[in-house]
Structure 1
Amino acid sequence: MLPARSRLTHRDEFASVIRRGRRGGRSRLVVHLHRAPEESGPRAGFVVSKAVGGSVVRHRVSRKLRHLVATRLDVLPGDVRLVVRALPPASDATSAELAEDLDSGLRSALRKLNGDVR
């Protein structure tokens, strides 16, 4: 579970990360990273739309993603804001598949955020 201080909660925060951040896309999800002016520890939020499935499916995907991100927050820089956007194929994915896509997306977005675009 993500602690309350590690969650993005306001629409403006989500919009800022998605609009200004760097993106790492995979088949099941897209990772958006953005550096915030204040350093209060990394914070994360999730976007799981109706395109992923019904409410039960969306909540299952959200729970899996929250669990995966919680274990990875300590490796992110303190000023980073993260938004993970689930795509429709995430509905059928296992936790291991989502973890693989999340790690790959984070690596890609971190590289772009640090200016090492390959």
Structure 2
Amino acid sequence: MLPAAHRMRAAADFRAASRHGLRAANRYFVIHVVEGEPGAGLLVGFTVSKKVGNAVVRNQVRRRLRHIMRDYLEIPASKVVIRARPGSATASSQELREALHTELTRLGMVHA
């Protein structure tokens, strides 16, 4: 589980990351990243629309992404929004983990 201190809750933070940050996408999700204030730490938000599935499926996708993101808490001060796409509902956790690592590497957030 992702610690509460790292969860994004404010709508303004979601908007800032989605509109002004770097963007990377694949068939499972779109990642938006904007650098935060130094010393602020990592904030991660998740958006899972009804296009992904019913409430059970959406919550399952959100939980799996939260679980995967806890391995990346060492990322420097950033605001990250992960917007799930319908393909994420049928993807395995391993596929999501590999795709997330690939996109974070592409954005320069982690090293290969």
Q: Secondary structure at the match of 2:69?
A: helix
SS of aligned partner of 1:97: helix
Q: Amino acid of the residue matched to residue 59 of structure 1?
A: N
Unaligned runs of 5+ in 2: none
1:103 corresponds in structure 2 to: 101
4+ aligned runs moved over 3 Å, structure 1: none
What is residue 56 of structure 1 aligned with on the other side?
56
Q: Once the 2 structures are TM-superposed, how far is the Cα of residue 96 of structure 1 from its aligned partner?
A: 0.3
- Aligned-partner residue type, residue 93 of structure 2: S
Query: SS of 1:59's equivalent?
Result: helix
What is the TM-score of this pair, normalised by structure 1?
0.87
Which residue of structure 1 aligns with residue 40 of structure 2? 40
Structure 1 stretch 99-108 or stretch 14-23: which is displaced more?
Answer: 99-108
Cα distance in 1, alignment partners of residues 56 and 13 from structure 2: 26
Whole-angstrom distance in 1 between the partners of 2:37 and 2:8: 15
Task: State the distance in 1 between where 2:49 and 2:107 align.
Answer: 22
1:39 Cα deviation after fit: 2.5
Structure 1 segments unaligned to the other structure (5+ residues) = 112-118
Q: How many Å apart are 1:82 and its aligned residue?
A: 0.7
Q: Determine if contact 1:48/1:62 at 8 Å carries over to the other structure.
A: yes
1:72 alignment partner in structure 2: 72
| In 2: Cα distance, 1:39 partner to 1:33 partner | 16
Determine the C-alpha separation between the residues in 2 that align with 1:107 and 1:24: 10
The residue that corresponds to 1:26 in the other structure is 26
**What is the letter of the counterpart of residue 12 of structure 1?**
A
User: How many percent identity over aligned positions?
Assistant: 37
1:87 maps to a residue whose letter is R
